[in-house]
Amino acid sequence: MTNSRRDFSTCGPGDLVLANRILFKYGVVDGFGHVSLRCQDNPEQFWLARNCAPSLVGIDDIIRHDLDGETVENVDHRLYLERFIHAAAFQRRDDIRAVVHSHSCSMVAFSVSKVQKLVPVWHMAGFLGRNVKIFDTEDKFGSETDLLITDMEKASALADCLVDSDVALMRGHGATIYGRTLPEAVYRAIYAELNAQILLNSAAMGTFKALSVGECKATVERISPQIGAPGIFGCGKLNATDYGLVLLLTYRRDWKRDRVGKNTMAHETLANSEPFLLSDERLAHLVRLVAKGFSRCLQIRLAEHGVSFGHWTYLRVLWEQDGITQRDLSTRLGLMEPTVHTALEKMLKAGLIRREHRDGNKKKKYIYLSDTGRLLRAELEPLAVEVNDIATEGLQDGDLLRLRAMLLHMHANLSVDEASALEQGLSMPSTRKLGEPK
């Protein structure tokens, strides 16, 4: 099998979105908590989501911050109150690339205990070492703070506890964990919490035996190279959509695009990765996700040419048959004539089409492409081909043929059902009439 392990120094905003989801799925964060990533192109900046529940973070929520905890560009979004934790961490430690701050309950328990220190009792948590420090805001800022790290002064004090350690508890608050890669920070945050749970149970049973200093070192050396292995956080916790993101973000940057030859690396990687269940994922939802992905990726490319996705659909018809009426165009697109009329008016102003009377008929106008609209075909159609290639990358020819056949079969089934409904006098109501009393 091809070695599919990624170079995690290339992690970006998309990976940070996934990290938020994984930490939420494992219960490390809930409505609060956050994870950051040092920018690959500028080590003096880092990526962090806007003030948003981790489970809801999307790619558009990721914002660049500087090492003072301020945004690089002006944004209207609310920011995390404790973003300064991340700023001070990256400012103090050049060797780290990711930071997790959480309020996971078992870790909090050890942050307030006067009896039991947080120590590793599990080989998966050797990174904790035998001297996890506890940061207490009261020591430097008095007994009337809200315990939050809301400025650089407090954040710098916390960073002092993490000069020679990658994990620190925060009294009555939570924990801050560093990683040299994003997967390492996520791994440590998850297994620190799980180790804390095991330790609580072990302590309740009586005496227990923690890992020695030597065992901590040996387990870290053994396990660290495994962090980031394909699907390590996927099975059992993420749903099909999330797990698809795991696969995508694990392999995507290693796929070599070859427009001429066959690309089997991605197919081979997916085929040999851990299995995941799609049985609970609705087909309609998956089809909608794919359709949305197609349109968004194409829209991004069309925008560079000053063409909207809506205009693209009209241009495609006119490239095939120029000089048709508005009604014909409406029929071909399956759209209402008023909708088509509005779009054509905009295309007329944009210089993409022209309207003409024909055969002396003053009532009927025919739609023709302008020279500009006609020449755009050579520029825009390759963009659609490119998006299609990206979407189907890693699929074999046989896979694509079967996929087309299945989609056509599903479309035929639904068309028969719709026709049957029409025969019974039923029809699709307009959106304006939905909800109106009968």
Longest dimension (CA), the chain: 100
Contact 23, 100 (CB under 8 A): yes
Active-site residue 356, yes or no?
A: no
What is the pLDDT at residue 281? 54
Can you state the angle between helices 309-320 and 283-303, rounded to 10 degrees? 90
pTM: 0.58
What is the pLDDT at residue 241? 46
Query: Could you tell me the fold of the domain covering 8-233?
Result: L-fuculose-1-phosphate Aldolase (3.40.225)
- Reduced to 3 states (helix: H, G, I; strand: E, B; else coil), residue 218 is helix
Query: Could you tell me the fold of the domain covering 297-391?
Result: Arc Repressor Mutant, subunit A (1.10.10)
What is the pLDDT at residue 319? 94
Cα of 296 vs its chain's centroid, Å:
14
Residue 315 structure tokens: 């241009």
Q: Which of 44, 70, 82, 386 is catalytic?
A: 82
The two beta strands, 62-66 and 353-358, are unpaired
Q: Which of 282, 117, 98 has its CA nearest to residue 184? A: 98
Q: DSSP letter string over 381-429?
A: HHHHHHHHHHHTTT--HHHHHHHHHHHHHHHHHHHHHHHHHHHTT--PP
Buried b (16+ CB within 10 A) or exposed e, 400-411: eeeeeeeeeeee
DSSP state of 89: H
pLDDT tens for 291-329 read: 988 998 999 999 989 899 889 999 999 999 989 999 999
Contacts 24+ apart (CB under 8 A), 410-417: 410/283
**Could you give the C-alpha distances from 329 to 281, 298, 366, 373, in angstroms and in order?**
36, 22, 10, 16
Q: What is the mean pLDDT of each run of 10 residues along the chain (438 residues)?
A: 49 86 90 95 95 88 95 92 98 97 96 96 96 96 96 97 96 97 93 97 94 96 79 47 45 36 37 40 81 90 90 92 90 88 92 87 86 94 93 81 86 86 80 57
What is the pLDDT at residue 1? 30
Domain ranges of the chain: 8-233, 297-391
The dihedral formed by the CA atoms of 329, 333, 339 and 343, expressed in degrees to the nearest 10: -70
